[in-house]
Amino acid sequence: MSEQPWTVRRVLGWTTQHFEKLGIDSPRLTAELLLGHVLHASRVRLYTDLDRPLEATELAGYRGLIARRASGEPTSYLTGTREFYGRPFAVDARVLVPRPETELLVEAVLQAVPRDAAVRVLDLCTGSGCVGITVALERPSVRVLATDTSAGAVEVARANAAALGAVDRFEVRLGDLFAPVADEAPFDVVVANPPYVARGDLPTLPAEVCREPPLALDGGPDGLDVVRRIAAAAPRRLVPGGLLALEIGEGQGPAVQSLLEAGGYGSVRIERDLARHDRLALGTHPRGLAATPSGDGALGPDSH
């Protein structure tokens, strides 16, 4: 080992170069997040302590995380957290890592729900709970029910709801899609970030994505198996005029739009993300728009 001390500045520089050579996305940011985790310090604090030497135990811990990240473990699994819509969500190998693109799904729901509307939202395939919990926190009058087929995901979502102060407005139940809410009244909004990767594409995904739960990724032969099931069943679980909002994969827009239109959904549209990839599919309840859905709010044709 070099006689030169391993300061914060030096280890960040070395790690950034190492991650660049490995082709890891956002190498500098990844290096900072991992070092901040080891030192229990914010990224801002790292830059105020650039000349601070690392202790032997800190250096050993950091090297361990570097090796694990190089082997393909997602950064968020190593740090145990991922920021979503400005809030820290706990994540681990039981749930999908929240993506920035999924914030667009939250935005679509928030645009459809008036600020003080006492409406009910169903969040399918909730995973970490990032979508449903965020909607509940951004719209205090909304009640969110969520479901997931993974017991581990349900545990993570419940922990996030407790940590973020949403337990009074967010409830998650274990089960397949609509099954856990069969006895509930229809919802004003059904939102979902379902598995939508085509099965044949799974082996081609980046190494870190391959570490995420296959159940949360595998959408069947063409990626739309779960999307079809949701679209077919949602009309029975939506109030007239209610909104169905789905996250979809790149290039799936035409197929999903045709699917929703064939199912009789109104106001069907596909929205793209900042990279101009198909990302959201939106449609209203097939029986047409209602003047006043359940609760105090109305999801009118111009509200989203």
Q: Does any domain span residue 244?
A: yes
Same structural domain, 269 and 148: yes
Q: Does any domain span residue 34?
A: yes
- Rounded CA-CA distance 42/280 in Å is 33
* Beta-bridge partners for 280: 247, 271
- Number of structural domains the chain divides into: 2
Q: Does any domain span residue 299?
A: no
Q: Considering the chain, what is the average pLDDT of its residues? A: 91
Q: What is the pTM of this model?
A: 0.87
- Rounded CA-CA distance 161/48 in Å is 33
Per residue in 14-64, pLDDT (tens digit) is: 999 999 999 998 999 999 999 999 999 999 999 999 999 999 999 999 999
pLDDT classification of 294: cutoffs 50, 70, 90:
very low
- Rounded CA-CA distance 40/37 in Å is 5
Q: Which of 129, 193, 119, 125 is nearest to 165 (CA)?
A: 129
Per residue in 194-225, pLDDT (tens digit) is: 999 999 999 999 888 989 999 999 999 999 99
Q: Are 245 and 237 in contact (CB under 8 A)?
A: no
Same structural domain, 88 and 49: no
- Rounded CA-CA distance 196/116 in Å is 33
Same structural domain, 45 and 128: no
> Looking at the predicted structure, is the pLDDT value of residue 301 above 50?
no
Higher pLDDT pick, 206 / 270: 270
- Rounded CA-CA distance 16/36 in Å is 14
Q: Does any domain span residue 290?
A: no
CATH number for the domain harbouring residue 86: 3.40.50.150
Task: Give the residue numbers spanning the domain of 106.
Answer: 82-284
Q: Does any domain span residue 93?
A: yes
Same structural domain, 60 and 144: no
Same structural domain, 48 and 87: no
Same structural domain, 167 and 265: yes
Q: Does any domain span residue 294?
A: no
Q: Which residues contact 2 (CB under 8 A, 6 or more apart)?
A: none
Q: Does any domain span residue 302?
A: no
Q: Which H or E run includes 18?
A: helix 8-22
C-beta pairs of 209-212 under 8 Å, 24+ apart in sequence: 209/74, 210/72, 211/72, 211/73, 211/74, 211/77, 211/93, 212/74, 212/93, 212/95, 212/96, 212/97
